[in-house]
Amino acid sequence: MESDRPRLELVDFDKPELSLADILSSLSYALDLTGGNPMGHAQRTALIAMRLGAMYGLPESDQTNLFYAVLMKDAGCSSNAARMFEIFGNNDLKVKGRITVVDPTNLIEAASFIMGNVVPEKSLLARAMRTLDIAAHRERLEETVKTRCNRGYEIALTLGLGEDAARCIYSLMERWDGRGSPDGLKGDAIPLLSRIANVAQHVEVLGKTYGLDAAFEIVRKRSGKTFDPEIVNLLLHSRSDHVLWEAVQGDPREELLRLDVHTSAKQTTADRIDSICDTFAQIVDAKSPFTGEHSSRVREYSVMIGEGLGFKKDRLTTLRRAALLHDIGKLAVPNTILDKPAKLDDEEWKCVRMHPYYTQQILSKIHGFERITEIAASHHERLDGRGYFRGLTANELDTDMRIVAVADVYDALSAKRPYRDALATQEVFAIMDKDAGSALDARCLDVLKSSTMTLEDLQQNAYGRRALKAA
């Protein structure tokens, strides 16, 4: 096994091309949010995992698979968010962010965690009853894990990361002693990349929670139970690598993209970028049962308006990608808010109004996505300056920004929400007409009205796609 640090190669950040590593490392910020972790968690985990992989002596192809798998390891997290909220009756992001540090086989520790994270506004008796109910129906939690693992596997394949990377994500929550999920694999039956990634993600979260020294000690104690002892030994030997751990505790992105695993220089095609945007739109929409297909419909409406205004191919491409990714910041909003069947209070509204900010923060990290970022982050801005999160006015909102804003409002009103049923098309346009010229762009609204494509058409297309997938 090789113990030297991974070889680094400088990357020319001035290149105009888009690299797969750049795009996915940036979008990993969104997955951090939906997994209840601080932004940068996946990147820090990837740095640790790549170090362990190099020490183990992984061949080049496995290092590449590990790199992408760790960045996308939480791709399935949004798919079980609503179910986690239903089970715990609490903020799904907080529950997920805390659950990583818990040893589920320690009954006292597990019961204490559940008791401290269920129905927080209820009485002690109510929390105790919910805890007993969860313990008595453990299969429901196991179901959420399997949902996450299966969806993460599917997304990795859709992103073109390959079977080995997908399998790494699928088996990430297996335990060395065979008491993990989703399949109860034991020892060497667990894919090696999953064993490495599991140690890396735990030490990152534990380090943020308790400090690095305590994290190493916890991982050491769980060696042979949760973790592969050989990987744990490599981790303990890495403790003297001060450059690594300084990077992990800081901003790891630049050093991550400099790792020579044939990732940072790998350029990607326009079709693959479109596929990535579409896949992440699905990740966003999977977070709540009330947002299914929302991003794809906003894309259709936006392109529809753009075509009606005479946009050419390149401009339509940018508009389409921005529309698909406009709500990526919504992964930072818990399902206690997204699925709430009643009026939001002031604090909840503050949280909702921050999601375009997170959209901007996530997308702005991608070299070459500057224009996409500005359009996507402006979808809740209004001509009169009463939108959010920046309060931009008509002079600051260009046509592309106005298009996505109109498309987003139309779909929001046309779709069912937890507090109301979907509104009929005529009713939707009557509401939007009141804001035409003052909050919403009247010309964009007129083009949408005149379109031959209706919400019913899009819904039928969506049902058709799902039926084909099921078949």
| Whole-number pLDDT of residue 470 | 41
- What distances in angstroms separate CA 36 from CA 30, 63, 70, 290, one per listed residue? 10, 26, 16, 21
Tell me whether residue 9 is in a domain. Answer: no
Tell me whether residue 208 is in a domain. Answer: yes
| Whole-number pLDDT of residue 121 | 87
| Whole-number pLDDT of residue 253 | 85
Average pLDDT across the chain, whole number: 89
* Same domain, yes or no: 132 and 20: yes
Number of independent structural domains in the chain = 2
Residue 433 has pLDDT above 70, yes or no: yes
113 preceded by cis ω (within 30°)?
Answer: no
* Same domain, yes or no: 262 and 281: no
Tell me whether residue 28 is in a domain. Answer: yes
Residue 263 has pLDDT above 70, yes or no: no
CATH of the domain at 226: 1.10.3210
Q: Who contacts 388 (Cβ-Cβ below 8 Å, separation ≥6)?
A: 353, 356, 380, 381
Specify whether the CB–CB gap between 348 and 337 falls below 8 A. yes
* Same domain, yes or no: 251 and 352: no
| Whole-number pLDDT of residue 420 | 81
Query: How would residue 257 be classed by pLDDT, with cut points 50, 70 and 90?
Result: confident
* Same domain, yes or no: 257 and 299: no
How far is 90 from 343, CA to CA, in rounded Å? 17
pLDDT, tens digit, 9 for 90 and up, residues 145-159: 999 999 999 999 999
Q: Who contacts 241 (Cβ-Cβ below 8 Å, separation ≥6)?
A: 5, 51
Residue 28 has pLDDT above 80, yes or no: yes
How far is 299 from 325, CA to CA, in rounded Å? 9
Summarize the confidence of residues 368-378 as an average pLDDT. Answer: 97
Tell me whether residue 37 is in a domain. Answer: yes
What DSSP string runs through 185-239? --GGGS-HHHHHHHHHHHHHHHHHHH-HHHHHHHHHHTBTTTB-HHHHHHHHHGG
Q: Which of 344, 346, 303 is nearest to 323 (CA)?
A: 303
What single DSSP character describes residue 8? B
How far is 263 from 287, CA to CA, in rounded Å? 29
> Which of 225, 244, 268 finishes a domain?
268
Structure tokens at 291: 């947002």
Tell me whether residue 5 is in a domain. Answer: no
Instruction: Provide the annotated active-site residues.
Output: 330
Query: How would residue 393 be classed by pLDDT, with cut points 50, 70 and 90?
Result: very high
CATH of the domain at 368: 1.10.3210.10
Q: Nearest 5°: phi and psi at 131? A: -60, -45
pLDDT, tens digit, 9 for 90 and up, residues 35-58: 999 999 999 999 999 999 999 999
pLDDT, tens digit, 9 for 90 and up, residues 272-295: 999 999 999 999 999 998 877 899
Specify whether the CB–CB gap between 320 and 374 falls below 8 A. no
* Same domain, yes or no: 377 and 340: yes
Q: Who contacts 379 (Cβ-Cβ below 8 Å, separation ≥6)?
A: 326, 327, 356, 359, 401, 404, 405, 408
Summarize the confidence of residues 375-404 as an average pLDDT. Answer: 98
Based on the number of CB atoms within 10 Å of its own CB, is 190 exposed (0-12), middle (13-18) or buried (19 or more)? Answer: buried
* Same domain, yes or no: 426 and 345: yes
* Same domain, yes or no: 197 and 283: no
How far is 293 from 238, CA to CA, in rounded Å? 45
* Same domain, yes or no: 337 and 325: yes
Tell me whether residue 6 is in a domain. Answer: no
* Same domain, yes or no: 188 and 310: no
Q: Sign of dihedral through CA atoms 313, 315, 319, 322?
A: positive
> Which of 250, 268, 286 finishes a domain?
268
Domain ranges, residue 411: 270-470
| Whole-number pLDDT of residue 12 | 36
Tell me whether residue 119 is in a domain. Answer: yes
> Which of 243, 268, 293 finishes a domain?
268
Tell me whether residue 2 is in a domain. Answer: no
Structure tokens at 277: 């945007």
Q: Which of 260, 244, 234, 258 is nearest to 7 (CA)?
A: 260
Task: Report how many helices (DSSP H) and strands (DSSP E) the chain contains, helices first.
Answer: 25, 0
* Same domain, yes or no: 323 and 240: no
Q: Report pTM.
A: 0.88
Q: Which of 265, 233, 288, 242 is nearest to 86 (CA)?
A: 288
* Same domain, yes or no: 228 and 316: no
Strand partners, 153: none
* Same domain, yes or no: 220 and 302: no
